[in-house]
A = this chain, B = another copy of it.
Amino acid sequence: MSKKQLIMESALELFAKQGFEATSVQQITEHAGISKGAFYIAFKSKDELIIGLIDHFLLEFISEIDHVVKNQNDDHKLLNEFYTAAFHSFQKHSDFAKIFIKEQTQTVNEDLISKMHHYDKLIDKIILQMLERLYGEDIRSTKYDLIFCVKGFINTYAHLFLFFNVPFNLSLLSQSLAEKTYLLARHSEITFISEELYQTLNEPWDENITEEQIIEIIEQKIEEVEESTVRESLMLLKQHVQEPSLSQVIVKGLLANLKDHPNCKQISYLLRNYLGL
CB atoms of B145 and A176 under 8 A apart: yes
CA distance A192 to B83 in the complex (A): 14
Give Cα A157–Cα B145 distance, bound, in whole angstroms. Answer: 10
Number of copies: 2
Question: Which residues of B sit under 8 angstroms from A156, Cβ to Cβ?
Answer: 148-149, 151-152, 155-156
A204 to chain B minimum Cβ distance, whole angstroms, is 12
Chain A residues with a Cβ under 8 A of chain B: 18-19, 21-22, 101-102, 105-106, 108, 145, 148-149, 151-153, 155-157, 159-160, 163-167, 169, 172-173, 175-177, 179-180, 183-184, 187-192, 197, 200-201, 205, 259, 265, 268-269, 272-273
- A166–B105 contact, CB under 8 A? no
What are some 24 contacts across the A-B interface (CB < 8 A)? Answer: A19-B21, A19-B106, A102-B105, A102-B106, A105-B163, A106-B106, A145-B176, A148-B160, A152-B153, A152-B156, A152-B157, A157-B192, A160-B201, A164-B200, A165-B272, A165-B273, A166-B200, A166-B201, A166-B269, A167-B265, A167-B268, A177-B192, A179-B189, A187-B187
Given the contacts A188-B180, A191-B176, A201 and B259 also touching, CB distance less than 8 Å = no
Known: A151-B156, A167-B265, A180-B149. A172 touches B192 (CB 8 A): yes
**A190 pairs with B176, CB closer than 8 A:** yes
Q: In the bound complex, do residue B269 and residue A167 qualify as a contact, i.e. CB atoms below 8 Å apart?
A: yes
**B184/A180 in contact, CB under 8 A:** yes
Chain B proximity of A181: nearest CB distance (Å)? 10
CB distance from A114 to the nearest CB of B (A): 14
Q: Which residues of B have CB within 8 Å of A269?
A: 165-167
Of all chain B residues, the one with the shortest Cβ separation from A272 is: B165
Set of chain B residues within 8 Å of A265, measured between Cβ atoms: 166-167
Q: How far is the CA of A241 from the CA of B148 in the complex (A)?
A: 46
Nearest chain-B residue to A173 (Cβ)?
A: B192
> How many Å lie between the Cα of A217 and that of B153 in the bound state?
34
The 6 residue pairs across chains A and B that have the minimum distance between CB atoms: A152-B156, A176-B192, A176-B190, A21-B21, A102-B105, A152-B152
Contact present for B190 and A175 (CB under 8 Å): yes
Q: In the docked arrangement, what's the CA distance between A101 and B159, Å?
A: 13
**In contact, A205 and B164 (Cβ under 8 angstroms):** yes
Chain B residue contacts of A152, Cβ below 8 A: 152-153, 155-157
